[in-house]
Structure 1
Amino acid sequence: MAYVGLLYVGAVLFLNGVMLLGKADPKAIAVFNIFVGALQVITPTVLIVANLSDPTTLLSASGIYLFGFTYLYVGIGLLGDLDSSGVGWFSLFVAIMAIGYSFANFRLLGDSPFGVIWLYWSFLWLLFFLLLGLKMERLTRYTGWVAAIEGWVTGAIPSFLILTGYWQNPDSITLGLVIFGVVVFVALWLITTGVWSVRGFRWGFRAMPTPR
């Protein structure tokens, strides 16, 4: 059940990224945030009630609430034209807790791919904190791309592979996620900040002064 919800986490991250890139109306995206937020609150509640004696399930399900409350907060805030600082500071809380869940997946659950995925989410929620909480608007484009990409890499694709039985070779998946994250997000930073121009593959450094 949790992996079905993960599929729609991917969808809402992708849509929120598209919204931050200015390609979709915020209020239209808000409705989907509320749909998925409600799903991500109901799902862990059902899992917890049905598995009160299973600490592993309780641990895994508890992290889902972080997403559910985030999306409900975002959706209601967009519909009500509320200031985003509350979502931003809650995102800092989520970013910190995501590091804990990453550790839990590595050391307690033996799930290294999701250990890395939780680090992806920690990074994204840190960007939400900087953008929405501290109002660092220059990060809007970068955060939009990171959110849209993570929607596929951490949500839709893993969920589909797990549900179809193709989520295998965890060591290879872990290594692939690490390499992909470092390469893509560093390259995105260089592109969105203007350091590197994709057109012509030119580095956008300022010309060095001629020595005299």
Structure 2
Amino acid sequence: MASVGLLYVGAVLFVNAVMLLGRVEPRAAAIMNLFVGAMQVVFPTILLVQAGTDTAAISFAAGIYLFGFTYLYVGIGTLAGIDSTGVGWFSLFVSFSAIVFSAVNFFDVKDYPFGVIWLSWSFLWFLFFLLLGLKRAELNDYTGWVTLANALGTTTLPAFLLLTDNYSSAGKYAVIWAVCTVVIVVALWPLTRRTGAAAPAEPAGPA
């Protein structure tokens, strides 16, 4: 169930990335946010019902809700024409929460690659906070490209690895993931600064 949800998170991140980069109209992207947001609320609810007193399962479901609510917030807000400040500040809450879930994966679950992936999501949602909550429109292109990198590297790729039973939680893969993440995040900064593309005055929403 988790791998299926992760795959479609990759899809909505991809759509929102190309939206931020000006290739998809915001209201068109909002539909995908509603689809995936609904799924990311239904799936953890099922997990919670089945979890009983399983703390690990409850923690996992709680993490999924963070993103499900983000997508619903974006989808509904965009279609209703609501200012994006609220989802921006909610993204700050998600960013801090993701650091905690990263620590859980590193020190409790011992799933080291997902410890790195949670940190990647924390950084991405912090960018959403800056872009939408603080209206830092000059970060639009950078945020769009970082979103695209996350769509491919932190959701779609691990989803297919999980679906094909090729995923490993070993520490060496976490190191590879971490190095690739840092290189991409750092390299995208000067590249997006050089484009000089004008950012929209009112970004429509994040992942």
TM-score, length basis structure 1 = 0.90
Q: Bigger CA drift: 103-112 or 161-170?
A: 161-170
Residue 177 of structure 1 corresponds to which residue in structure 2?
A: 177
Query: In the TM superposition, what whole-angstrom CA distance separates every residue of 1:12-34 from its partner, at most 9, and x where no partner exists?
Result: 01111110000001111100000
Question: Cα 1:100–1:46, aligned 2, differ >3 Å: closer, same or farther?
Answer: same
Q: 1:112 corresponds to which letter in structure 2?
A: Y
Residue 48 of structure 2 corresponds to which residue in structure 1?
A: 48
Q: Distance in 2 between matches of 1:129 and 1:121?
A: 12
Residue 139 of structure 2 corresponds to which residue in structure 1?
A: 139
Q: Distance in 2 between matches of 1:51 and 1:45?
A: 10
Query: In the TM superposition, what whole-angstrom CA distance separates every residue of 1:46-79 from its partner, at most 9, and x where no partner exists?
Result: 0110111211111111100000000000001111
Q: 2:145 corresponds to which letter in structure 1?
A: W
Q: Distance in 2 between matches of 1:166 and 1:111?
A: 14
After TM superposition, the structure 1 = structure 2 runs for residues 196-211 of structure 1, keeping only pairs within 5 Å, are: none
Residue 23 of structure 1 corresponds to which residue in structure 2?
A: 23
Check the 8 A contact 2:110/2:169 in 1, yes or no.
no
Check the 8 A contact 1:88/1:133 in 2, yes or no.
yes
Q: Bigger CA drift: 97-106 or 169-178?
A: 169-178
Query: In the TM superposition, what whole-angstrom CA distance separates every residue of 1:122-167 from its partner, at most 9, and x where no partner exists?
Result: 0000000000000000000000000011011111110111111111
Residue identity over aligned pairs, in percent, reads 55
Superposed CA RMSD in Å reads 1.1
Larger radius of gyration: 1
Check the 8 A contact 2:17/2:145 in 1, yes or no.
yes
Q: 2:181 corresponds to which letter in structure 1?
A: G
Q: Distance in 1 between matches of 2:78 and 2:191?
A: 28
Check the 8 A contact 1:2/1:44 in 2, yes or no.
no
Secondary structure of the residue aligned to 2:109 is coil
Residue 111 of structure 1 corresponds to which residue in structure 2?
A: 111
Secondary structure of the residue aligned to 1:194 is helix
TM-score, length basis structure 2 = 0.92
Query: In the TM superposition, what whole-angstrom CA distance separates every residue of 1:166-188 from its partner, at most 9, and x where no partner exists?
Result: 11362232011111111111010
Q: Distance in 1 between matches of 2:37 and 2:169?
A: 31
1:5 aligns with 2:22: no
Q: Which has the higher contact order (CA 8 A, sep 6+)?
A: 2
Check the 8 A contact 2:112/2:169 in 1, yes or no.
no
Residue 149 of structure 2 corresponds to which residue in structure 1?
A: 149
Runs of 5+ consecutive residues of structure 2 not aligned to the other structure: 196-207
Q: Distance in 1 between matches of 2:53 and 2:35?
A: 29
Residue 187 of structure 1 corresponds to which residue in structure 2?
A: 187
Query: In the TM superposition, what whole-angstrom CA distance separates every residue of 1:67-111 from its partner, at most 9, and x where no partner exists?
Result: 000000000111111100000000000000000000011011111
Residue 200 of structure 1 corresponds to which residue in structure 2?
A: none
Secondary structure of the residue aligned to 1:193 is helix
How far 1:3 sits from its partner (Å)? Answer: 1.5
Residue 75 of structure 1 corresponds to which residue in structure 2?
A: 75
Runs of 5+ consecutive residues of structure 1 not aligned to the other structure: 196-212
**Runs of 4+ with >3 A deviation:** none
Q: Distance in 2 between matches of 1:168 and 1:75?
A: 34
